[in-house]
Structure 1
Amino acid sequence: MLLFLLWGGAASAQLGGKSVVVTERTRAELLAHAPEGLEPGKPVWVGLQLTHQPEWHSYWKNPGDSGLPTKLEWKLPAGVLAGEIAWPMPRKYPIGTLINYGYEHTVLLPVPLNISSDFQPSLLSGALEVKLKAQWLVCRKECIPEEGEFLLAIPAKSAIALHGPVFQASFAAQPKPLADKATVTIDGTSLRLRVSGLPADLRNKPLEFFPETPEVIETSAQWSQAWDGQVWTAQVPLSPQRSLSPDAMPIVLTQGNQGWSIDARVQGTWPATAAPAAVSPALQEALRKNVTAAAAESGARLTFMAALLGALLGGLILNMMPCVFPVLAIKVLGFAQHGSNQRARRLDGVAYSAGVVASFVALGLLVVALRGAGQQLGWGFQLQVPGVVAALALLFTLVGLNLAGVFEVRQFIPSRLASLQSSHPAVNAFLSGVLAVVVASPCTAPFMGAALGFAVGLPAAQAILIFAALGTGMALPYLVASWVPAFAQLLPRPGEWMVNLRQLMAFPMFAAVVWLLWVLGQQSGIDAASALLVVLIATSMLAWSLGLTGRTRVIVGVIAVAWAVGFAWLLAGKVGTVRPQQAVEANDGTWQAWVPGRVEQLLASGRPVFVDFTAAWCVTCQYNKKTVLQNPEVLADFAARNVALLRADWTLRDPAITAALGELGRSGVPLYVFYTNKAPAQILSEILSASELRAALTAAPLAPSPTVTQASQ
């Protein structure tokens, strides 16, 4: 419930602004311009303004060799129609051997609205409500599809000119129509263009050429241009993948900040076309490399059934992770308590399994809901909130004290509920399943990463099935054991050993509390960890006081409560002020902090790159770090091959890291990726081994020496 409250509030807090959508790469805003009000025949404009981060760009109506044009879907009231985008002049973006057409920095894509006499403003707001669903592709060296939904209310009885300069600048950036004529003559495998009517001061100056019709010319091929008196001419190669044969070709010519547009009449017969494709082959290749190449080690992309099987296997393996072991040991005690009562043992197994599966389904519903609300989440996301880490430390402390015999749960609850608890042991078993999932959340097992990464991109129903399969896999061993009589015969008879084992299981819980204190220290600093430690001590004192009698119980209890409340207030102030992200990211000279674009920079310098996606709360990450990534021999192998080591620390929420995980087909940590210039990115196992890492290094080509690389940077 605490997780739902924390994350539900965070999601609702970000849903207020409907006219602006912000990602790590772009800021998209829906703007309006109605300088003479909303009257029939008057100019009314709306437009999507895209502000790109440095080095990122989106695309023109013809994206060029790769890319996709921005797509706008309008939902307008009766009597209002949206026209076509008035595209500003594009520019060319060479990327390797490709050339794309698009926009960088800030661009406005204006669209005219036609207001008829049938239009009636909204009865509630007295305004024109404009709804837009937009999709755009932004690229740097990698390409990322983005989208947003926008809502804008334009007052019906007043003029809107606040964004007039922005719209006027966009109108000025549009190509001017030419009134003369232009022709395109098909000449074998090329096109010959002739354009008349261009301004006289352009003669003998080179122009840039942009065809509005996509997939006709070979965009990145060499082409020639010349002036024949007052006529501009050009020879442009046809594309081998040409899919269209237009009768007329609208073209745009630019020179500096000026541009002109004209429809060129096509003369001649088009050669046979290639098979049409929904997406250009160049874009298909770019997206395949940028989004799914890292998963190519397994041969092909996951299918839904393969993801279900992976989730089931991941859940099974999760039982062997150190996070879950204390809870499973407690369940063994439950087996022994039932003795030869087969019915009670089976009921216990079913209830525990139901708790596990229900918890995973609830977690899946939460992830799907928050993803739909625009949140970027992954496995273990709740542990990125310092308040949740503190709450789990308190819960684990109480569980450990209960196992040690310091208090019993019935001391906290009314006698009626205590009797209900004893008469319904299935409730305890169900809650044990819930606790097992809570304890397991910091762990990632093999097969889990690919399955969960696949799940977050599926429709809600299929994603929930993936989470349910993960819960089924985790619950399956206990469920089978509870229904197999032979397993019960392997257990010793109930006796004193059960009390000793129960008390022994308190120590792993206390160890988990120490680990959570360390995580909180990484997130919010040593003061927050110290305040939480005092709260835990006061809570332990309160639990111990429940076993006292008379006035002593009251006095000790009051002192403990006052102590706990005071330091809890101090703790709340500390966890509310999260440390800067660079305080979490380790940069010790050997490892550098991962930032977007750093991998590409290092690869361009000729160095291979190894990225450790990790988090302080990820137990598997810490195990791999201690056993492999801090191994002197492994570090020596990295150094010998001049491998750049980057650490992406996901201890606190970081949308850039979340996006990078998603591009690699994962939704959680640990994730280990090895990049080279000669092959697709290689994803290594969640349980990392020195032999696997060395095999990946051995297969990679040698990089330039460190001295040469450093000089090049």
Structure 2
Amino acid sequence: MAFSSLLRGAALLAATLAASLPAAAQLASRIGPVVTTPHVRAELIADAPQGVSAGAPVWVGLQITHQPEWHTYWKNAGDSGLPTELAWSLPAGVSAGDIAWPVPKKIPVGTLANYGYEGTVLLPVPLTVAPGFKPPAGLTGAEALDIKLKASWLVCRKECIPEDGEFLIKLPVQGSTALHRDAFDAALAAQPQALPKPGSITIDGQKLQVRLDGLPASARGKTLDFFPEIGEVIHTAAVLGKDWTQAWDGDTWTASVPLAEQRSASPAAMPVVVALPEADRKAGQPVAWRVEAPVSGNWPAVAARAEVSPALRAALEANTAPPPPQPAGNLLVALLGALLGGLLLNLMPCVFPVLAIKVLGFTRRADDHAGHRMAAVAYTGGVVLSFLALGATMLALRAAGAELGWGFQLQSPAVVAVLAGLFTVIGLNLAGLFEFGVLAPSSVCSAQARHPRANDFLSGVLAVVIASPCTAPFMGASMGFTIGLPAAQALLIFAALGVGLALPYLAAGFVPGVARLLPRPGPWMNILRRLLAFPIFATVAWLVWVLGQQSGIDGAGALLGLLVCLAAIVWAFTLRGRTRIVLASLLIVVTALLAGAIGGNVVRSAPPAVAASAGERWQAWSPARVSELAAEGRPVFVDFTAAWCVTCQYNKRSTLADAVLLAEFDAKKVAMLRADWTRRDPEITAALTALGRSGVPAYVLMAPGRTPVVLTEILSKQEVRDALARL
């Protein structure tokens, strides 16, 4: 079709992005000392000042640098979270000890509290070298040993993201390795020092009476932080002076600490750490002290409760579910899901007009079987390469720290405005206002005639542009699965999605029986072409509405005005003689002036919508609101949605608007939250990632003590009823 020549620039962009794919795959597959995620930079470092030999001190450690406001956890994570875990692969004769945990800090999270680390922390681990250690065969004393580590950590802000990494460093057998001496010295200085006396802990009703003796003069009289190494024993979020107290008597420190309401442990001895607040710490002096104190008295009965894992509590706190385990072979399942999802994308309202236009062009060449096959291959190439370019861009931006998901480009008002202009021109072309030959130089038209496959290729690009905000059944899990894969495997899933989208046209090109089902050319084709202009104009109306959600009513109005000017310019170019030049030039100047005056309204961000009051059914999603509801013990249903997601709008106006179904939500006292992803929101992106999803729609039903249930993209009333019945 002639209109596709307007998209040659899009093909150049796709080719540029696709050229970067091999480098991205190579970078993702390399294992080295550093792993970078959107939330942390983790590096394996070592300190071996005397080389690797029996009796020589050798330290290795994972140094984690957190993004602002993010944290990982201590050995006792507190009310939610999980400690960092390290699994070593070491040469024979070398063994790793336990993590020498630096003293943590208390991190309040709503009504709860955790113990963890912010900023930069080093988790040092001592290596022990056996007395008879010899370098592996083939290594000389001057060469290096491979020290391998597989680490996993839970990084949280208001949401929690499970992450992991594989690390490799080479440690010289002889010679000094002390580049990170200062980091290890600082980490070891933050270790709790052992107290000379064991102290004591006495159970007194619902409190622990703690007594520690022999604390040094530098700590006496100071307010100390208290960290038990066993979780789920004390009330972690207790406030000093309100819920618990402490006092000094010489070198003896005492405290009265409340027990947890839902205690899960009754130890005979408790290892505890007390630490100076950061403001009272001095360089070169101990900052914390540790003792394993015996416990006397009778523990009160443990309250009955549903078993909830720490990872699930962290997920409930952040409105995210722990990602499901990934068994071997899941890549094949994800590829099949992407193929089926791409095939079903053809039935989405946003994609169907383009498919109809392609079938119209296919019918024009009804007897050209070789041309059919070439056109199908070119269209498929445009689709697959565009999906690869889009996927590579998303993966690269996520690796660089951006919180993005499927359909991320539609979160930009500028992109939405450009697409609205593009589809306006396409609709005018289909309606018969102009033909490409009228607007373009004759040289361009002749080039188009010589290379018709370029039109087919660019039609594939157009199909992907329109399809990108849609999520079809089977797509959600497959796209979410790509987040944790190496780049090469993730791009295979994007390619499978493209093949699925192009499959109907491939079938029409290569299967004669499919081609014979198409009607013969005739006058009806001109009528159908003009009829197809209206779905394209409907797409423009939808894009204007989307921009209105992002930039407000002034932004939508400004875009409509500019689209009218664009249509007038296109009409002016269809005229003849001097009138064409004069009128088109005048309209271009007027449009430029208008764009300068009101164009800023199109790309600005509208002020956030006022959150719904507690009495309204749908309330705005936020981690804090979910935390409040979890503390109340209420189940929560979350609708992850966006204005540019057609599937979301369908579900919202059908299943989620059913009065009978809403009454069932009310009967179960389910709080209903809506996470609006129309504009970019890193918190929502992170929550989707933790659910194993990369785009919208996504629906999750969660309740305290139960595993969160993620529902399908095309939401049915029966599926929701079944999930509610299990509460």
Deviation at 1:209, TM superposition (A): 7.5
Render the CA deviation track for 1:374-419: whole Å, top value 9, x for unaligned.
1111111111110111100011011111111111122333212211
Is the Cα contact below 8 Å between 1:606 and 1:677 reproduced in 2?
Answer: yes
Pair 1:362-2:389 in alignment: yes
Measured against aligned partners, the alpha-carbon deviations of 1:657-693 in whole angstroms (never above 9, x if no partner) come to 1111111111111111112224211112211222322
CA distance in 2, matches of 1:255, 1:383: 50
Cα distance change of structure 1 residues 583 and 540 upon mapping to structure 2, 3 Å threshold:
farther
Q: Which moved more, 1:559-568 or 1:388-397?
A: 559-568
The alpha carbon displacement at 1:526 in A equals: 1.8
CA RMSD between the two structures? 5.1
Q: CA deviation at 1:301?
A: 9.3
The answer to whether the Cα contact below 8 Å between 2:158 and 2:623 also exists between their aligned partners in 1 is: no
- What SS does structure 1 have at the residue aligned with 2:712? coil
2:558 pairs with 1:541: no
Aligned equivalent of 1:461, options 488, 501, 520:
488
The residue type equivalent to 2:573 in the other structure is L
Counterpart secondary structure, 1:59:
strand
Question: 1:558 Cα deviation (Å)?
Answer: 2.2
Partner residue, 1:445: 472
Question: CA shift at 1:330, angstroms?
Answer: 0.8
Q: Is the 8 A contact 1:534 1:564 kept in 2?
A: no
- Give the 3 Å change call, closer, same or farther, for CA 495–659 of structure 1 in structure 2: same
Match of 2:663 among 636, 643, 667: 636
The offset of 1:527, in angstroms, is 1.9
Equivalent residue, structure 1, for 2:82: 67
Which of 627, 631, 637 is matched with 1:600 structurally? 627
CA distance in 1, matches of 2:621, 2:291: 50
Aligned partner of 1:562 among 549, 572, 589: 589
Q: Which of 557, 579, 599 pairs up with 2:606? A: 579
Identify the residue that residue 397 of structure 1 maps to in structure 2.
424
Runs of 5+ consecutive residues of structure 1 not aligned to the other structure: 9-21, 29-46, 72-83, 113-133, 149-166, 185-192, 212-216, 234-248, 267-280, 701-713
| Structure 1 position 295, deviation (Å) | 6.1
Partner of 1:120: none
Deviations 1:137-177 (A, max 9, x none): 445796435799xxxxxxxxxxxxxxxxxx9xx99x95785
State whether structure 2 residue 359 is matched by structure 1 residue 332.
yes
Deviations 1:553-601 (A, max 9, x none): 2233123222322233334311332112326999992211111232232
Counterpart amino acid of residue 650 in structure 1: W
Contact (CA 8 Å) 2:160, 2:320: kept in 1 or not?
Answer: no
1:507-535 deviations in Å (ceiling 9; x for gaps): 10001101111111111122222222122
Deviation for aligned residue 1:339: 1.5
Aligned to 2:298: none
Partner AA of 1:484 in structure 2: V
Residue number in structure 1 paired with 2:691: 664
Give SS of 1:673's match.
strand
**Closer, same or farther: CA 627–405 of 1 in aligned 2, 3 Å:** same
| Matched residue SS, 2:471 | coil
What is the aligned counterpart of 1:144 among 161, 164, 172?
161
Inter-CA distance 344–583: structure 2 relative to 1 (3 Å threshold): farther
Amino acid at match of 1:59: Y
Q: Could you tell me which residue of structure 2 aligns to residue 341 of structure 1? A: 368
Say whether the 8 Å CA contact 1:61–1:70 is kept in structure 2.
no
User: Alignment partner for residue 504 of structure 1, among 513, 523, 531?
Assistant: 531
Q: Secondary structure at the match of 1:525?
A: helix
- How much has 1:99 moved relative to structure 2? 9.7
Rate the CA distance shift 1:535–1:584 in 2: closer, same or farther, 3 A: farther
Partner Cα separation in structure 1 for residue 119 and residue 395 of structure 2: 32
User: For 1:675 and 1:285, how far apart are their aligned partners in 2?
Assistant: 10
- 1:671–1:683 contact (8 Å) kept in structure 2: yes
Shift of 1:496: 0.4
Aligned residues: 569
Which of 645, 648, 652 does residue 672 from structure 2 map onto?
A: 645
Matches within 5 A, 1:243-282: 252-254=273-275
1:658 alignment partner AA: T
Cα shift readout 1:473-518 (whole Å, capped 9, x = no counterpart) = 1101210121111222222221101111111111100011011111
Separation (CA, whole Å) in 1 of partners of 2:614 and 2:274: 50
Cα distance per residue 1:327-377 (max 9 Å; x no partner): 111111122111211101111111111111111011011111111211111
Amino acid at match of 1:303: N
Contact in 1 for aligned 2:380/2:506 (Cα 8 Å): yes
Q: Which amino acid aligns with 2:429?
A: N
What does residue 406 of structure 2 align with? 379
Q: What is the deviation of 1:52?
A: 7.2
1:31 aligned residue: none
Partner of 1:14: none
Give the equivalent residue in structure 2 for 1:625: 652
Change (3 A) 1:491 1:176: closer
Q: Which residue of 2 aligns with 1:39?
A: none
SS of aligned partner of 2:484? coil
Counterpart amino acid of residue 653 in structure 2: K
In the alignment, is the contact (CA less than 8 A) between 2:558 and 2:599 conserved in 1? no
Equivalent position of 2:457 in the other structure? 430
* Higher RCO by CA contacts (8 Å cutoff, separation 6 or greater): 2
Q: How far has the Cα of 1:252 moved from its partner?
A: 4.3
Alpha-carbon distance change, 555 to 632 in structure 1, aligned in 2, over 3 angstroms: farther
Letter in 2 for 1:568: A
Instruction: Judge conservation of contact 2:411–2:680 (CA < 8 Å) in 1.
Output: yes
Identity rate of aligned residues, in percent? 51
Pick from 663, 668, 681 the counterpart of residue 708 of structure 2: 681
Q: Report the Cα distance in structure 2 between the residues aligned to 1:552 and 1:599, rounded to whole angstroms.
A: 63
Q: Which residue of the partner structure matches residue 87 of structure 1?
A: 102
| Gapped regions of structure 2 (runs ≥ 5) | 1-8, 18-35, 43-62, 87-98, 125-150, 166-182, 200-209, 235-247, 255-269, 294-307
1:353 aligns with 2:380: yes
Alpha-carbon distance in structure 2 between the residues aligned to 1:219 and 1:517: 53
Does residue 102 (structure 1) correspond to residue 116 (structure 2)? The answer is: yes
Give the Cα separation in 2 of the matches to 1:597 and 1:94.
9
CA contact (8 A) 1:384 1:652 kept: yes
Partner of residue 616, structure 1: 643
SS of the equivalent of 1:648 reads strand
Cα displacement (A) at 1:206: 13
Which one of the candidate residues 337, 344, 350 is aligned to 1:317?
A: 344
Work out the CA distance in 1 between the residues paired with 2:351 and 2:567: 23
Q: Is the 8 A contact 1:404 1:502 kept in 2?
A: yes
Q: Does the CA-based 8 Å contact 2:192-2:273 persist in structure 1?
A: no
What code does the residue aligned with 1:601 have? E
Match in the other structure for 1:470: 497
Residue pair 1:138, 1:146 contacting (<8 A) in 2 also: yes
Residues of 1 paired with 2:390 and 2:723: CA distance? 35
639-648 or 502-511, larger mean C-alpha shift: 639-648
Match for residue 578 of structure 2? 551
Q: TM-score, normalised by structure 1?
A: 0.68
Which segment is superposed worse, 431-440 or 481-490?
481-490
